[in-house]
Structure formats: C-alpha cells, structure tokens
Amino acid sequence: MLNEDNDQALLERIRRGDKSACAECVERHSPGVYRLALRLTGNEAEAEDVVQETFLSAFKAIDSFEGRSGLSTWLYRIAHNAALMRLRRVQPDQVSVDDEEVFGEGLDVPRQLHAWCCLPERDFESSEARIELERAVRELPEKLRAVFVMRELEALSTEETAEALDVSIDVVKVRLYRARLQLRERLSAYFTEIARTEV
C-alpha cells in the first residue's frame, strides 16, 4: 500500500500522544472507513457512529497494535467489528447465515443467461442503475458483503482482507467469488429487463 511508510511514522507520533498525528490519521483513513461502514450498515447515521467508534477505540488501543498488518487494515478490522455489532443488534438473524466455504461443492449455478453487456452506456450510468448496484451489495449476505466491499470496492488485497476479517485467504477467495456470482444474478435480472423494454 502506498501509505504504509507514512503510516509507520504516523503511528509513532500517535503513540507519543501527538494530537496532530491523530488528526492526520483521521484525515487519511476516515473516507475509507466511512465507505466501508456505510456499505456494511446501509445507513448514514449508523455509519457515522461506526467511524467515531472506530477511531475512538483505535486511539485507545494504539499501544496494543502490533503493526503486523497495515494501519488501514487494522482500522478496517475495528470498523468491521463495530458494524457487525450494530447489525447483530438490528437484524440478529441476518448475520449468522452459514455458507459454503469451499469451491466446487454446492456452488451457485448461474441462472440468468441473457447477454446484457452490450446495452448502451447510458443504461449503466443512470442513477437508477447506480441505486440498483448499491442495493444489490446491501442485500448480499453479510459475510459476502464484507469481503466484496473490502476487495472490490476498497481494493484491499486478498491478504489484507483476510487479516481484517480474521479468516483464511481461501475463505476470502471463495466469498469474493460467491459475492460476484450473486451480484451478477441480481444485475442480470435488472439489466435483462431493461434490454427487453428497449427492444
């Protein structure tokens, strides 16, 4: 990651109690933490609370941070846990869905087989399409959503995502693939319908 060296220096300053370093850390990392929180909780107010909680706990626990992972990965990890606690409070049954974690067995078989790639660009760029894209992520099972947001939207590496979620690299790969398949199904249904109405 680009910020890693700077983050190391920043970390030292935060540990020495330098408040301007804390401010820099917030400035640098709050946009990503907010996007993650918003996409995990699906709610602006909740996301704002998660961001506050994340930095409060991070600064409090800064001495116990071993620096094995990058600072941003560690912050994502705290934010994910905070968001998860909130989700469990609001939708207790939503989080405990156990899914298949190996390739092959029980794989989701694609059902939507219409080729919608060649729709005109405006159909993909409409605000309605964007709302549909966001909604599709929000309605993924929580475990798949967390991986998809970190890997695909926040561009964390497979290793960083595994670290942030405390799962193995293979689990990250399986969940990312399953998330992509599920989103593809959902978007296929949406864009196929659009293709039909345009003929």
Partner 1 sequence: MEKAACHHLLENLAGYLDGEASAELCAELERHLDGCTDCRVVVDTLRKTSALYHELPQPELPPAARLRLYKSLDLSEFLNSSA
Where does this chain bind partner 1 (CB under 8 A)?
19-20, 22-24, 26-27, 30-31, 34-35, 38-39, 44, 48, 51-52, 55-56, 59, 103-104, 107, 109-110, 112-117, 124, 129-130, 133-134, 137, 152-153, 173-174, 176-177, 180-181, 183-184, 187-188
Show the tokens assigned to 151.
């890997």
CB of 121 to partner 1, least distance (A): 10
Which of residues 99 and 103 has its CB atom nearest to partner 1 in the complex? 103
CB of 141 to partner 1, least distance (A): 17
For 58, what's the count of Cα atoms within 13 Å in the CB-facing half-sphere? 29
What whole-number distance in Å separates Cα of residue 86 and Cα of residue 142? Answer: 12
CB of 112 to partner 1, least distance (A): 8
Is residue 50 packed enough to be buried (19+ CB in 10 Å), middle (13-18) or exposed (0-12)? Answer: buried
What whole-number distance in Å separates Cα of residue 100 and Cα of residue 181? Answer: 14
CB of 4 to partner 1, least distance (A): 20
What whole-number distance in Å separates Cα of residue 77 and Cα of residue 162? Answer: 10
- Segment (H or E) for 130: helix 127-138
What amino acid occupies position 150? M
User: DSSP secondary-structure letter at 105?
Assistant: T
Which of residues 90 and 155 has its CB atom nearest to partner 1 in the complex? 155
Which of residues 9 and 115 has its CB atom nearest to partner 1 in the complex? 115
Which of residues 67 and 110 has its CB atom nearest to partner 1 in the complex? 110
CB of 110 to partner 1, least distance (A): 5
Show the tokens assigned to 7.
């983050």
Which of residues 95 and 187 has its CB atom nearest to partner 1 in the complex? 187
